[in-house]
Amino acid sequence: MITRMVTAWIGLILCQLLIQGNFSQKVNVTELNRQFLLAFPKLQNPNIYLLIYTMTKEITVTVSLTNPGSFDHVMIAQLKVKRLKSIHYRLDKGNIPSPLKEYSHHRCLVLDSYHSFGVHVHMYDGTHSLSSFMAVPVQAFGRTYVVITHEMRSFYTVLAQRRTKVFVSLLIYPPHELVVDGALRPVGIHNWRTVELQNYQAFSLMKCAEKSLLSNISLTGSRIESIRPIGVISGSCSFIYFECKYLDILLTYPDMASEMLLPVKMFGQNFVIVYSHKRANNDSIIITTSESNTAAIFYSKNSTSKLSLKHSRINKFRLSKPECYVVSNKPVAIYYYATSICSDTPSEGGPSIMMIMPNELFYNVYVWVDPPEEEALCVISLVIPVTTSIEKVFWNGGSIPYVNKQVEKGVIMSNHFIVTLELWFNSTEASLEASFNFGCYFSGFNIGSFFQAAGFLYQDEKRYSPCGYFVHVDDDGKDNDCDNLVDEELRNGVDDDGDGLIDEDTYKVSDCDKAGRWAKGCLQACSDFCFSKCDKYNGTCSSCVNGRTNPQNFCLDECPKYTYGKNCKGNCSEKCNGRDCIERSQGQCLPLDITSTQVPVITEKLSMASKLPATTPLTVTTQTPETVAVFNTTVIPVTYTTMLPHGEKTEPKQDSKFITIGVVILTPILIGVLGSICLNIIGKRRRSSKTASE
């Protein structure tokens, strides 16, 4: 029975370890930008290029097709990618994950690596249609999105890494009937639909096919919300501007436009709107917000205008002064909305959709990969702080090889200026790098045109959040902890709102300036072995007291043998005539008159309870400075490792093994001596009795 119980416990522990190992591996692969999910609309003659780049010396990227509902993917390629040497990977048509119906679930493409990388997507439909966008990594997925499309052959695709339920508020104009699960259902303005997605599954609403009924609709303004983070791609499979005067121009050059959207959590409050100077006459912008009572102010060179925004409403207007700066009191999203230019040649551009990056998401490294099938005139727009210059931005490590440079410094109140560069590309990749954050956009003109933000490596700290972004101040009227409640906590060390957190809506960890304290609300005490202050975020020491070392481990490590004092720089051998010290703080030496009955057991007690993380291992060693012979017994130092729970005092355990060994050896000797004494006494008594009897 006991054997079975032990076996069961061992099996349970192994099972838990295996589960934990698998889970951590799956989580780690999605940290930073190590995993991407993609899917594409159903095109007539598709050519899909994945242009993969990295800032790491060399990585391996695995490209697979998913089995919805499963974590087992079907690998189709493994690619070796070197630093700033992009891989142009063309998907076979049989491996392009696309919906089979207008409204359907389908599989998706997954790209994995154990190192950070980025992906540009270039979609061709035939030879006259091109769309380009930067893929958003799984770690930057969000729960809420606002869709943007053109007014013709629109689509959106939802990508789920984990099983979730998605709520779609369809804003379709004009209202019409949609085939949903094989049946015609009326849809129109703000009709809600609920869609369930399995692990690694995609879902699309697509009006791309030539036989689609009422394909000339817009999905702009549709709202997608999910229980778990998702990714969203939206756009139009084919579009052309309807105000062209000549019918042959209208029918000859349709083009795609698509964008992988940023979630609401990455909306911003400061924007510099750039444009392509060859396209400005027919372009416009769309601005939307997810909060009520939002105001946005547009600053251009010669005018200032204020716009009041309502929750989830779409505001679209033509750019009479396309170069401007936008400030809002609450987070918003701004989309650049380009339409086909009325021209008898497509070289001057076609439709495109692009999200304007908030200044809060500016980065200092960008990577650009040109479309692989044609040479194009590429216009690069850089948004640079006025405190620096274009000469401090490096192209592949050197100066920028521009053909024409226009420096615009007239953007009012933006603290940025825009630099426009024109270059001819032919399957070229390039990196732009600076010691400061800046914005970067690329637009291209030829058979197919595009306009997009350049690729950059997302980081968690680059995410912009409308809540939690502010400096925490008591009674500041802001939702500092992102729980949709405002100022619900008092600075009293009590969980006032019952959410398991204490004082989370009052002040940040950075506000903890009390000596000897750390963590949110200064609730943790620094280790007693810290010499002065400790890190207010993780409690590690800045330096250690005498006799202690390793400040990153809370100074729990004692100085090594034959060392003592500050930073363990004291030399015991010199101080103690070749012998070790008996303590590490002051370097006290072992007395020379020790007899065989003196057994020095040196232990150092923790004077107070150190406030350490509950999982911090504390190693305490009981030791003697030298090996001392006692009753032919050797003193054996023993090391104990224990876990310190918060607020508990832990004292080193005394090593008594040498006593046990001594007793074991001494006991037979004592028994023998006592036995001999007893025998002598008995012998004497017998002799005395014998003498008396005689």
Label residue 258 by pLDDT band (50, 70, 90): confident
What pLDDT is recorded for position 315?
A: 84
What pLDDT is recorded for position 523?
A: 64
Q: Does 521 map to a domain?
A: no
pLDDT tens, 235-246? Answer: 888 755 444 444
Q: Does 214 map to a domain?
A: yes
Do 114 and 231 belong together in one domain? yes
* Residue that finishes a domain, picked among 399, 431, 461: 461
Whether a cis peptide bond, with omega within 30° of 0, leads into 174 is: yes
pLDDT tens, 638-676? Answer: 333 333 333 333 344 444 444 445 555 666 666 666 766
3-class DSSP assignment, residue 620: strand
pLDDT beyond 50 at 14: no
The mean per-residue pLDDT over the stretch 99-112 comes to 89
Tokens of 177: 């009937």
Domain that holds residue 501: 468-507
Neighbouring C-alpha atoms within 13 Å toward the C-beta of 637: 15
- Going through 13-163 in order, the beta strands assigned E by DSSP cover 35-38, 46-53, 58-65, 74-82, 87-90, 103-106, 109-112, 118-125, 130-134, 142-146, 154-160
Rounded distance between C-alpha atoms, residue 465 and residue 482, angstroms: 9
Could you say which DSSP state residue 171 is in? E
pLDDT tens, 274-308? Answer: 766 555 456 778 899 888 888 888 887 777 788 88
**How much helix, strand and coil, in percent to the nearest 5, is found in the chain?**
15, 40, 45
Label residue 511 by pLDDT band (50, 70, 90): low
Q: Does 186 map to a domain?
A: yes
pLDDT beyond 80 at 97: yes
- Going through 198-351 in order, the beta strands assigned E by DSSP cover 201-206, 223-239, 255-260, 268-273, 283-289, 294-299, 304-309, 315-318, 324-338
Do 493 and 445 belong together in one domain? no
More confident residue, 596 or 25: 596
More confident residue, 188 or 260: 260
Beta bridge mates, 154: 236
Question: Cβ distance 646 to 614 under 8 Å?
Answer: yes
What pLDDT is recorded for position 77?
A: 94
Q: The pTM is what?
A: 0.60
pLDDT beyond 70 at 270: yes
Could you say which DSSP state residue 348 is in? G
Question: Cβ distance 561 to 580 under 8 Å?
Answer: yes
The mean per-residue pLDDT over the stretch 179-187 comes to 52
Handedness of CA 452, 455, 456, 460 (dihedral sign): positive
Rounded distance between C-alpha atoms, residue 618 and residue 615, angstroms: 9
pLDDT tens, 111-154? Answer: 999 888 888 888 877 665 677 888 888 988 888 999 988 777 78
Q: Does 499 map to a domain?
A: yes
pLDDT beyond 80 at 263: yes
Whether a cis peptide bond, with omega within 30° of 0, leads into 331 is: no
What pLDDT is recorded for position 533?
A: 78
Q: Does 555 map to a domain?
A: no
Label residue 484 by pLDDT band (50, 70, 90): very low
Rounded distance between C-alpha atoms, residue 98 and residue 634, angstroms: 76
pLDDT beyond 80 at 211: no
What pLDDT is recorded for position 78?
A: 95
Do 421 and 380 belong together in one domain? yes
Do 215 and 322 belong together in one domain? yes
pLDDT tens, 339-370? Answer: 655 444 444 556 778 888 888 888 888 877 66
Label residue 588 by pLDDT band (50, 70, 90): confident
Do 473 and 442 belong together in one domain? no
Beta bridge mates, 158: 203, 232
pLDDT tens, 307-345? Answer: 888 887 888 877 665 577 888 888 899 988 776 554 444
3-class DSSP assignment, residue 73: coil
The mean per-residue pLDDT over the stretch 418-434 comes to 69
CB proximity list for 385: less than 8 A, separation 6 or greater: 415, 416, 436, 437, 438
Do 351 and 410 belong together in one domain? yes
Instruction: Look at the chain and report how many structural domains it folds into.
Output: 2
What pLDDT is recorded for position 455?
A: 57
* Residue that finishes a domain, picked among 478, 507, 536: 507
Label residue 558 by pLDDT band (50, 70, 90): confident
What pLDDT is recorded for position 645?
A: 34
What pLDDT is recorded for position 646?
A: 34
Do 430 and 489 belong together in one domain? no
pLDDT tens, 383-406? Answer: 888 777 778 888 877 877 655 555
pLDDT beyond 90 at 86: no
What pLDDT is recorded for position 159?
A: 96
More confident residue, 364 or 2: 364
3-class DSSP assignment, residue 406: strand
Do 376 and 489 belong together in one domain? no
Beta bridge mates, 105: 203
Do 492 and 386 belong together in one domain? no
Question: Cβ distance 418 to 385 under 8 Å?
Answer: no
Any idea which residue has 């070289």 for tokens? Answer: 347
pLDDT beyond 90 at 686: no
What mean pLDDT is reported for the chain?
69
Q: Does 237 map to a domain?
A: yes
* Residue that finishes a domain, picked among 451, 486, 507: 507
What pLDDT is recorded for position 691?
A: 53
pLDDT beyond 60 at 486: no
Do 453 and 472 belong together in one domain? no
Rounded distance between C-alpha atoms, residue 439 and residue 453, angstroms: 8
Highest-confidence segment of 218-222, 244-248, 483-487? 218-222
Q: Does 633 map to a domain?
A: no
Vertex 482: Cα angle to 478 and 484 (nearest 5): 75
What percent of the chain is modeled with pLDDT above 90?
12
Could you say which DSSP state residue 346 is in? G
Q: Does 673 map to a domain?
A: no
Do 109 and 154 belong together in one domain? yes
Do 402 and 472 belong together in one domain? no
Question: Cβ distance 422 to 453 under 8 Å?
Answer: no
